[in-house]
Amino acid sequence: MRGWWQDLTDLVLPAECGGCGTPRTVLCPECRAVLTGAAPSRVRPVPEPPGLPVVHTAARYTDEVRAVLLAHKERGALALAAPLGEALAEAVRAGLRESGTAGEPWADDGTACGDGSVVLVPVPSARAAVRARGHDPARRIALAAAGALRRSGTPARVAAVLRQTRWVADQSGLGSRQRLVNIAGALAVVPGGGRLLAEGGAVVLVDDLMTTGASLAEAARAVREASGREASAREASAPVRRGDGLGRHRAGGRFGRTREGSRAYGGTNEGNGEFGDTTTAVYRVGSREGRGEESAGSTEDAVRRTRGTPGIDGRGQAGSTIRAAVVAAAPDSFEINRN
């Protein structure tokens, strides 16, 4: 209820800048320039967690940018999702320009040539945090970013296919090693999500903030694992057809147009480009979080399994073209050209 009430009050009551507090503006020109004025950068935390995809960010997590992200995430300033989404879209474009992901040609401005498309996969917040805040910040920003990408000519959708499979401690007070252990093995792609990702074009993991990179690395592991299972299943069930040399056919072609995908997300919502309706909880598939169930093995074991997974470094396996983009990153992660 807090979400729609905040949306209504944002329209009726005078707002103040989320960055500096200037009255009667959601984001003043000066703070907007800090958020989106600089060219997006590639970032890499130190130490870099295993399996972290290439990450691009729009801004440094300092001063005004920090205030804007906290206002959106913790104080429910939902109107800030639009400028934050624009910043995230710029970071996504930067990654696409660099990589030409999924074999699609990309123009210098980061828009897709031909039928190139992008699927944005937000890193999920814990269900308890979503209930407390009244919204999922990364998911909301991803929706705004998808809209910005579509307006610039890049077909984009949001696939909220990741869920937490066990309880995860609050990451804010943990160091890089502790975060890696805390989140290891905690994310999974919902049933049917691998098929949706396989049909989706370039996969870009998105979040509002990267500090140590542990959450993005774990999200990438889960997506790669699901993509590998989907590729194996397709190979095993592919019919042999004469004449085309392909031995398989592709169903649908649009995001989430399968009956299985529709059930997993509670239907489709073409208007905002997201799988599932926006009035329900983020996760439509039940998880073990909050029921006190523990996953098999310790988190230390999960870290070791992650490091030993073939293709976890992004080479030679389905899902190896995963990229990542965030609104902001810790300042020290900008120093990527270290020895």
Asked if residue 265 lies in contact with residue 284, where contact means CB atoms within 8 angstroms, the answer is yes
Residue type for position 54: V
- CA separation for the pair 46, 208 (Å, rounded): 19
For the packed helices 29-36 and 81-99, what is the interaxial angle rounded to 10 degrees? 30
- Gap between the terminal Cα atoms of the chain: 50
Boundaries of domain holding 208: 42-236+252-334
Confidence of residue 190 (pLDDT cuts 50, 70, 90): very high
Residue 16 lies in a domain: no
Would you state the pLDDT for residue 231?
Answer: 77
How many domains does the chain fold into?
Answer: 1
4-25: average pLDDT: 71
Is 257 contained in some domain?
yes
Looking at per-residue pLDDT, the higher value among 239 and 284 belongs to: 239
8 in a structural domain? no
pLDDT score recorded for residue 333: 94
Domain annotation covers residue 152: yes
Q: What is the 3-state secondary structure (H, E, C) of 268-293?
A: EECCCCEECCCCCCCCCCCCCCCCCC
Q: Taking residues 106-118, what's their average pLDDT?
A: 54
Confidence of residue 6 (pLDDT cuts 50, 70, 90): low
pLDDT at 292: 36
In-domain check, residue 28: no
312-331 mean pLDDT:
69
Residue 7 lies in a domain: no
Asked, for residue 11, whether it belongs to a domain, the answer is no
* Domain annotation covers residue 69: yes
**Better-scored residue on pLDDT, 160 or 102:** 160
Which tens digit of pLDDT belongs to each residue from 123-135?
998 888 888 888 8
